[in-house]
Amino acid sequence: MWSPASEMMVPVTAFGPARLRYLISASPAVLRDGLSEAEFDEVEHRFGFQFCSDHRELLALALPLGDNWPDWRDGSDADLRSRLDWPVDSVLFDVEKDAFWPRSWGQRPGDVGSAVEVAREHMRSVPKLVPVYGHRYLPAAPCQPRSPVFSVYQTDTIYYGSDLEDYLLNEFGGRERAVERRPSHIPFWSELAEGREDEL
């Protein structure tokens, strides 16, 4: 098991792998050895997505485990699938219960069940989100390095960090949440996070 003790003295001005190790060691997670290439390949094949480069870098350094952390090594298919489905399921919940309906989807069907099915089809083209911790998500590849971390709860979606390092500092670094730079644009999710649902 990888130990973070020697990393705790890394100054907070550092960047890159040492920075990630420092920040993740500040969380309450138990840190296990990072995922191997074979393990990354198995997870991505099983669930049909690819980790973005930032997420992959973190999980190669150490696999954080404990409450709210997805266990990509030994977690159940049901748990991991539920976490992966959460962002889309959250949007569909608001389609059903709160009349969420972007203009780009065309006229909303009058029947709620039909509306949910049409919405489900539209959501197939939206960038997939991959759980980092709890309801915090990074976009799956392909995406730019240093993509934003979103907090997703139904269509109440916000930026929780302009990138993974910024997110870890917000969640575990003891600072009041702030977004340090303008996040890169992720279709659909950025519009929600910026309150521009009418532009979808």
Average pLDDT over residues 41-46: 98
The pLDDT assigned to 12 comes to 37
Average pLDDT over residues 43-54: 97
Burial 14-41 (b: 16+ CB within 10 A, else e): eeeeebbbbbbbbbebebeebbeeebbe
Average pLDDT over residues 183-187: 95
The pLDDT assigned to 95 comes to 97
Predicted confidence (pLDDT) at residue 5 exceeds the cutoff of 50: no
Predicted confidence (pLDDT) at residue 15 exceeds the cutoff of 60: no
Q: Domain span at residue 56?
A: 5-199
Predicted confidence (pLDDT) at residue 179 exceeds the cutoff of 80: no
Predicted confidence (pLDDT) at residue 1 exceeds the cutoff of 60: no
Dihedral sign, Cα of residue 111, residue 114, residue 118, residue 120: positive
Contact 150, 69 (CB under 8 A): no
Counted domains in the chain = 1
**pLDDT confidence bin for 177, thresholds 50/70/90:** low
Percentage of residues in the chain having pLDDT higher than 90:
74
Tell me the per-residue pLDDT of 117-159, one tens digit each, with 9 for 90 and over.
Answer: 999 999 999 999 999 999 999 999 999 899 999 999 999 999 9
Specify which residues 137 forms β-bridges with: 131, 150
Whole-model pTM: value is 0.88
The encoded tokens of residue 130 equal 């991959």
Selection from 92, 94, 17 nearest residue 53 by Cα? 17
C-alpha span between 44 and 145 (Å, rounded) = 18
The pLDDT assigned to 180 comes to 61
Tell me the per-residue pLDDT of 83-108, one tens digit each, with 9 for 90 and over.
Answer: 999 999 999 999 999 989 999 999 99
